[in-house]
Chain A
Amino acid sequence: GAVVSQHPSRVICKSGTSVKIECRSLDFQATTMFWYRQFPKQSLMLMATSNEGSKATYEQGVEKDKFLINHASLTLSTLTVTSAHPEDSSFYICSARAGAVDTEAFFGQGTRLTVV
């Protein structure tokens, strides 16, 4: 299957700082990218959907000013957690899709964010 690379895999930051997570599609052009959040022993919750060159669509309850998403090219999307707090500590996973809605979604390796 296609490869989605997410970086970093782990990050620890201080409260009040910002953290950027990158998601790259290595061997295909991702027209749509998704950002999910996963709490321990729970399933994935979609945060936002982004299409290349346009603003991200956020799910209800997700603060767009706190979780900044940029999808500037067909191979790169970034999630920036601004002014991070301990409650933002979580596992963040990106996903990418190459084409129409019936095509397969591929996932990155995830980023474990710990805010201290």
Chain B
Amino acid sequence: KQEVTQIPAALSVPEGENLVLNCSFTDSAIYNLQWFRQDPGKGLTSLLLIQSSQREQTSGRLNASLDKSSGRSTLYIAASQPGDSATYLCAVRPEGFQKLVFGTGTRLLVSP
């Protein structure tokens, strides 16, 4: 059974810092991994999608890496801003399944 874990559960940083969010999964047989952002009481916004054959994806100040063999992914946020404050979720799509399996999330607070 695929399990996804995110560390840390919560993170508080001052504005301008670069930061790394971690995601680990127990079964390396995945189609892809996706990072999402969720604001309180809202749905999910897709940030980055990494296919199993890819090593990383970049979008603006965000960079996500994937090491499938070790079951790890990181989301790097450069020059953090207060508007980045949200919960960040990673999710994997296991091979043979249509569904996404979500991690527990990291609650990020960026202070001005």
Give the B-binding residues of A (Cβ under 8 A).
1, 4, 6, 32, 34, 42-46, 49, 91, 93, 95, 97, 101-102, 104-110, 112
Contact = CB atoms under 8 A, between A and B. Distances in A.
Q: What is the interface residue range for chain B against chain A?
A: 20 to 34
B42 A1 contact: no
A6 to B, nearest CB: 7
Contacts of A34: 98-100
B100 A105 contact: yes
A105 B46 contact: yes
Interface of B: 31-32, 34, 36, 41-46, 49, 51-52, 89, 91, 93, 97-105
8 contacts: A32-B98, A44-B44, A44-B89, A44-B91, A93-B44, A102-B32, A109-B42, A110-B41
Contacts of A42: 104
Best-buried of A1, A49, A106, A107 by chain B (most CB within 10 Å) = A107
Contacts of B52: 102
A43 B105 contact: yes
B89 A104 contact: no
A101 B102 contact: no
A6 B43 contact: yes
B46 A107 contact: yes
B5 to A, nearest CB: 10
B31 A101 contact: yes
B104 A107 contact: no
Given A93-B44, A102-B31, A46 B100 contact: yes
A22 B61 CA distance: 34
